[in-house]
Chains A and B, each alone.
Chain A
Amino acid sequence: MDKQLKIPKRILSGLLSSLSAGVVPRVGAPYIAMGRTEEISALADDLDEIAEGGSKTRFIIGKYGSGKSFLIQLLRGYALEKGFVCADCDLSPERRICGKSGTGMATYRELIKNLSTRTNPDGNGMQSLISRWLDNLSSEIAAAGSAPGSPAFEKELSAKVYGVASLMEGQVGGFDFANVLMQYHRAFTEDDDRKKSACLRWLRGEYTTKTEARAALGVGMIIDDENWFDFIKLYAVFVRQIGYTGLLVFIDECVNLYKIVNRVSRESNYEKLLSMYNDSLQGRSPYLGLYFGGTPAFLEDPRRGLYSYEALKSRLSDGRIASMGGYRNLMGPVFRLKRMSDNELLALCHRITELHGLYHGSPCRITEEQILHFLTLCLDRAGSDSMITPREITREYITVLDVMLQHPDKSYEEIVGSAPPDLRNRDQTLAVNGTPSDVDPTLAAGIDVKDFDDI
């Protein structure tokens, strides 16, 4: 290995336990990022656009285990470093874009629950976000000479809070949003925990009736299935006003929309998705990025996928030029993930070997030849050219390393099988001596968050 990796302990253990369970890690994705440089570069450009007041919607499409969720988490981690606020969630039968019995609100609540900032990367960031904003304002005012607690100080603080809140009053739901922010500010100043909690409940969409919200806060509106996206747009403006770069929303496992059996319900979801997409492209959601992850069936199935909805099909399908010429267009709304190359997979195995050794405090017994043997075994399976996924390889590979660690008396050949695959059969550029031959050195070494800027 070229250089000794240094990974914080919690991130390392999270990475290894997620990978061995076949789950995408929520932190530490950059440490195992291999390849996908074109996609990463395009996504990094998105962030610059959003930071300048633009908005973006992307559909990241790939089959199960191909790396969609990984790419999403990679982007999330990078965005947090760049000062964005991120909210992510997976759709499920109980969480949709909209639907009866509160399935749309369940998505909103999950997004808000997972609201993250750089210093709250695991979610639960809303209270912290608002408290830090109010504290920063207080510090600014105090630094300008007003004594904390004095009437002049309170007046100035209220004026500053109102300055931000009033910017939202003109938008749908903005008046009530601003009202709740002002009430939170008062509760914050008066140390009124009950009121603060009521404000947070409202912002999290936990009031289910207007009567309840009116009794607690005197506001006549609640966040519900119909309007929750309007509030996501307000959040984007709000976080920008209080010093963050913008808001990114990641909605994964969109295949759950394709799985909705009832046509009317499925189309309502697609209709809502269309209006989100239109808002994004027509500049009605500044500082907001929307990223959806789904399978090819979710996008292309003509009966139940997005393509079954003509308005979405005409917006999302590849143009004639791109499809006829076979060009890949990473500037369009749809990213189709290609299979990782053999060398990228090899680099991934190398990286996992290194992480495994670091975590367990002793270098793995596996040799370069054996890594290559393992990968060749996986890639030689029937149909692997189109079917093999990084998830499968990673899980199996970690299992091999775990077994080798736990059974020091057993050799690799005894564990994996002694019949060596004929390496010469593969028309690939895998290098026999371990270093991937056509992989960029930065790729083989993994990508650090800070390296994004250089891509």
Chain B
Amino acid sequence: MKMAEKFSLSPHSLAGQINEEALERIGDIVLEEREGVFSTLPDYEEEIRSWISN
């Protein structure tokens, strides 16, 4: 939420942009929304970590 505010985006837009990038990099989405809460998919935590650290 805070991150979305920082970029003046809605959380859905930010999640969409992150997922788009993830689709390009690993071929799948990495964030999913359940009842208004966004969370990372556990299958890709390693990829996300290395993505952020790079």
Residues of A within 8 A of B (CB): 6-11, 13, 27, 117-122, 124, 127-128, 131-132, 134-136, 138, 142, 148, 188
Contact = CB atoms under 8 A, between A and B. Distances in A.
Contacts of A117: 16
12 contacts: A8-B28, A117-B16, A118-B20, A119-B20, A119-B23, A127-B12, A128-B12, A128-B13, A128-B16, A131-B12, A132-B10, A148-B8
B26 A8 contact: yes
Contacts of B48: none
B1 to A, nearest CB: 12
A134 B11 CA distance: 12
Given A9-B44, A27-B28, A124-B33, 7 more contacts: A10-B28, A117-B16, A120-B16, A120-B29, A128-B33, A131-B11, A138-B8
A13 B41 CA distance: 13
A132 B16 contact: yes
B10 A135 contact: yes
A11 B28 contact: yes
Contacts of B16: 117, 119-120, 128, 132
Chain B CB count within 10 A is highest, among A11, A119, A120, A121, for A119
Interface string B1-17: 00000001111110110
B23 A118 contact: yes
A133 to B, nearest CB: 9
Interface residues on B, range: 20 to 34
A132 B11 CA distance: 9
B41 A10 contact: yes
Nearest to A197: B36
Contacts of A7: 27
B27 A8 contact: yes
Nearest to A13: B43
B23 A131 contact: no
Contacts of B15: 119, 128
B42 to A, nearest CB: 9
A387 B18 CA distance: 46
Contacts of B29: 119-121
Given A8-B28, A11-B28, A119 B44 contact: no
Contacts of B44: 8-10
A274 to B, nearest CB: 37
Contact of A9 (B9, B11, B13, B43): B43
A245 B9 CA distance: 23
A380 B39 CA distance: 49
B9 to A, nearest CB: 5
A81 to B, nearest CB: 9
A119 B19 contact: yes
Contact of A11 (B9, B20, B27): B27
B2 to A, nearest CB: 15
A118 B16 CA distance: 9
Q: Which of A6, A117, A120, A121 has the most CB atoms of chain B within a 10 A radius of its CB?
A: A120
Contacts of B33: 120, 124, 128
Nearest to A119: B19
Count chain B CB atoms within 10 A of each CB in A8, A136, A148 and give the residue with the most: A8
Nearest to A122: B32
Interface in B33-49: 33, 41, 43-44
Most buried by A among B11, B12, B26, B44: B12
Closest 7 CB pairs of A and B: A8-B28, A119-B19, A131-B12, A128-B12, A135-B13, A131-B10, A9-B43
A121 B26 CA distance: 15
A134 B8 contact: no
Nearest to B7: A135
Contacts of A188: 10
A11 B44 CA distance: 11
Given A10-B43, A119-B19, A124-B33, A134 B28 contact: no
A422 B39 CA distance: 54
A144 to B, nearest CB: 15
Contacts of B20: 118-119
A118 B32 CA distance: 12
Q: Which of B19, B20, B44 lies at the interface centre, i.e. has the most chain A CB atoms within 10 A of its CB? A: B19
Contacts of A121: 29
A256 B40 CA distance: 37
A389 B11 CA distance: 44
